[in-house]
Amino acid sequence: SAVSAVAESLAATCSISTMVMVSLNFMFQGSALAIWDWMYEFDDGRGLVAPNGVVSTSAVPEVCCSAVSAAMLNETNATAPGAQCANSRVPGMSYNQGLLMSSGALLYNITHDSLYLNKSLELLDAALDNLTDGNGAVVDAQRGSRISASYCQGYSDPGADFFSFKGIFAMHLGYFGQVLKETGMLT
């Protein structure tokens, strides 16, 4: 089993969004920052982001989330959250990229720390380089064990939610674009 990048990104986005709506409640800010830090904490600082900049689907093993979990398994060197984590190396779908990208934009808005904006720009560049076709359209690779219907690309059944992935990415891209415009980086 693996820790889902989507679940972690959603948790970060929800924590950040909730914090913004609750007048910068520091309890939520701490949670959002801790989740963001964990996303980059292992694999030599890349965390759930592969070397090509694409967000992976998960971390392995599932118990890697905390030193307490790892210590329960009697693992050595389990002193820090993420100490036992590894990137699953399974490329995520476009919505994985969008979720983390907009989470970084939200964190930038509340902290004014350019680190988050710069990481989000790196995620956008990686999406353009790795998740688009020759025409610039977002493309998600099909995966799964069942044979797909003719309207699916590839040889797998991605599930009914597959067709919303690009829309989720676009929604988060729209928010990120708004933040870029507000900062003067996009005119």
How much of the chain, in percent, has pLDDT values that exceed 70?
A: 61
Residues 6+ positions from 50 with CB-CB distance below 8 Å: 56, 87, 89, 91
Q: What is the pLDDT of residue 34?
A: 84
Give 145 or 175, the one with higher predicted confidence: 175
Range 171-183 average pLDDT: 92
Is 13:99 a contact under the CB 8 Å cutoff? yes
Q: What is the pLDDT of residues 123-148, one digit of tens each?
A: 999 999 999 999 988 888 765 543 34
Amino acid identity at 93: M
Q: In which band, very low, low, confident or very high, does the pLDDT at 78 lie, cut at 50, 70 and 90?
A: very low
Residue 38 has pLDDT above 90, yes or no: no
DSSP 10: H
Cα Rg, the chain, nearest whole Å: 17
Residue 186 has φ and ψ, to the nearest 5°, of -135, 125
Strand arrangement, sheet containing 58-60: 3-4, 58-60, 86-87
Query: What pLDDT sits at residue 152?
Result: 41
